[in-house]
Amino acid sequence: MHPEEPKYRYNPQPEPEKPYVKTFIEGENSFSNTISHLLKKPLSVIHSIDENKGVRWMPIFVMTILSLTLFGFIVGSFRGATEQMWLAPLKIVGGVLFSSLICLPSLYIFCCVGGLDKKFSTILGIQSCTMAITSLLLIGFSPVIWLFSSSSDSLSFFGFLCIAIWLVCLFMGLKFLTKTGKAFGMTHTKHLYLWAGIFTLVTLQMPTTLRPIIGQSEKGKILELDEKKFFLQHWTEELSKQQDRNREDSMY
Amino acid sequence: MPRLLSRLTEIFSSIPALCRGDHALIDHWMRQSPVFILCRTLPLIILGCGSYGLSMGLWRGWEMASYAGIKFPLVVIATLAVNALINGMFAMVLGSGITMRQSIQFLFTAFAIFALILGALSPITIGMALQGPLEEGPDARTFHSITLLTHVFMISYAGIVSHSMLLGALKKYAHTKIAGIQTFFAWLVGNLFVGAQIGWIARPFFGSPGNDIQFLRDDKFSSSFYESVFNSFQNILF
């Protein structure tokens, strides 16, 4: 028995969290500088937009459209020089914009429910930056997508690869969204996580609704809007078709 | 000529420090231009991976050896080129504080270490190939399998060692340790994913017994590495 042994354990008080310091875009207000800040310090872009520091929406929006168009062009070139080369960019740009548009009201409401006190235009800005980061990363992946599109004939493999890459890029974009929520003083960020899940589902459903994007329709149609399908059902069917094709190939 | 000799001497004198992952050398290299790094790492990648590639194909003769010796460094360079943009973007988005230029420099440095390790192992693998049984002999299939496993083991070992040195340097450069680790894993996964496919397109390297000796296969663009792995699993399971 040690008489000196204390009867209680002393836990040192945890260090207080450092106060959040707002950062703004440094340097000249050029397009390349905005893009660089969007990747390195995305919060500085949103603060600059929120406090009218001369950063404009239009270049970010145009950059998103251009990036998605390029991504769509590479995806559409899977079957070579077909009509999909112009249809795929159109469908991808349209699908992403439409998904963002239909999810914007819920993002605003979820932000308010989470305790965020910001204007609708700021929420629109946050979502635009989220999509801009996602589309920029898609450009980064475009050499990888091109490599696989030129070295594989399997529609389902290429489709899954594109979806996997989309999910990785979207994850990065949504990470920025939740970070922004916290930085702006959101008290319950779990609402944002829920919204992120819903938005992901919407963007996964959109390519199925706007199919065919990668290959060509068996019925020769540009859109198959009359045949409604859930994306999981569609991809399961595609996978089983691919399995049948593989079996047939292995028989000969 | 004397300038070239002095540059070569400089490259070779930096090899021990590079193998140790010396922070002073990496710091110095990171402050230089990409051309400076390329001038120092590309010769090492070409020599190291080239000599190792040569040893991979040597069992099937000098023609296959020369093909593999040319292709292996090209696979490494092509992997770096395809992934350069996304690796740089990952470094920025993950908050590592590493610029696009530095990310390329880091990866070339890591692959130079990779090439040095393989280059140093190539005399052993050359000896192994020269001691192999005849292609038509009864033990050819077994020897081919042993060679394949040996090369997979050695390439994996070189990859792990070179990238672990990169991790040490990345942690030092990144704003936070976690950002450094996240960037490292993003690069590693990306390089493995793309490297496997480029290697698949560039086959044959070993030349299976009975197959023709070719620079590239006729069906090089007809499938992907991952499809073939998936199909193999499917054949085993169903």
The 10s digit of each residue's pLDDT in B206-217 is 877 777 888 888
pTM value is 0.81
Contact call for residues A142 and A89 (beta carbons, < 8 A)? no
| Chain-centre distance for alpha carbon B149 | 16
Query: Which of A40, A144, A246 is opposite residue B82, by nearest beta carbon?
Result: A144
Q: Which residue has the tokens 């994850």?
A: A171
Q: Which residue has the tokens 């949504």?
A: A174
Q: How far is A147 from chain B (nearest CA, A)?
A: 8
CA angle A55, A107, A88 (to 5 degrees): 75
Contact call for residues A127 and A104 (beta carbons, < 8 A)? yes
Structure tokens at A92: 């991808």
ipTM of this complex: 0.76
Q: Looking at residues B81-109, what average pLDDT do you find?
A: 90
Structure tokens at A25: 């875009």
Query: Which of A39, A142, A150 is opposite residue B92, by nearest beta carbon?
Result: A39
The pLDDT value given to residue B161? 86
The DSSP-derived string for B124-161 is HHHHHHHTSPPTTSTTHHHHHHHHHHHHHHHHHHHHHH
The 10s digit of each residue's pLDDT in B40-50 is 899 999 999 99
Residue to substitute from B74, B83, B92, interface A, most A β-carbons within 10 A: B92
Residue to substitute from A70, A77, A129, A151, interface B, most B β-carbons within 10 A: A151
Q: Looking at residues B136-144, what average pLDDT do you find?
A: 80
Residues A57, A34: Cα–Cα separation, whole Å: 11
Query: Which of A141, A142, A157 is opposite residue B224, by nearest beta carbon?
Result: A157
Structure tokens at B13: 């004198």
The pLDDT value given to residue A252? 57
Tell me: pLDDT of B2 over 80. no
Q: What is the pLDDT along chain A (252 residues), one digit of tens a residue?
A: 566 666 666 677 767 666 677 777 777 777 788 888 888 888 888 888 777 766 677 888 899 999 999 999 999 888 777 778 888 999 999 999 999 999 999 999 888 888 888 888 888 888 999 999 999 999 999 999 999 988 888 888 899 999 999 999 999 999 989 988 888 888 888 889 999 999 999 999 998 888 888 877 777 777 777 777 788 888 888 888 877 777 776 665
CB atoms < 10 A from the CB of A53, how many? 13
Nearest CA in chain A to B221: A151
pLDDT band at B115; cut points 50, 70, 90: very high
- Burial class of residue B33, CB neighbours in 10 A (0-12, 13-18, 19+): exposed
The pLDDT value given to residue B87? 93
In eight-state DSSP terms, residue A155 is: H
Percentages (nearest 5) of helix, strand, coil residues in chain B? 80, 0, 20
CA atoms lying within 13 Å on the CB side of residue B191: 25
**Which position has the higher pLDDT, B105 or B14?**
B105
Nearest CA in chain B to A146: B82
Interface of A with B in 64-93 (CB under 8 A): none
Contact call for residues B198 and B79 (beta carbons, < 8 A)? yes
Contact call for residues B76 and B109 (beta carbons, < 8 A)? no
Query: Which of A139, A148, A243 is opposite residue B197, by nearest beta carbon?
Result: A148
Please enumerate in sequence order all residues whose Cβ is within 8 A of that of A208, keeping only pairs 6 or more positions apart, or say none.
A229, A230, A231, A234, A235
Alpha carbon distances (Å) from B180 to A110, B2, B10, B18, B55: 33, 41, 30, 20, 35
The pLDDT value given to residue A250? 63
The pLDDT value given to residue B46? 94
The DSSP-derived string for B108-126 is HHHHHHHHHHHHHHHHHHH
CB atoms < 10 A from the CB of B203, how many? 17
The highest-confidence range among B66-75, B178-187, B224-233, by mean pLDDT, is B66-75
Query: Which of B194, B200, B201 is opposite residue A144, by nearest beta carbon?
Result: B194
The answer to whether residue A240 neighbours chain B at the CB level (below 8 Å) is no
In eight-state DSSP terms, residue A37 is: H
The answer to whether residue A243 neighbours chain B at the CB level (below 8 Å) is yes
The answer to whether residue A168 neighbours chain B at the CB level (below 8 Å) is no
Query: Are B221 and A150 in contact (CB < 8 Å)?
Result: yes
CA atoms lying within 13 Å on the CB side of residue A105: 2
Residue type for position A100 = S
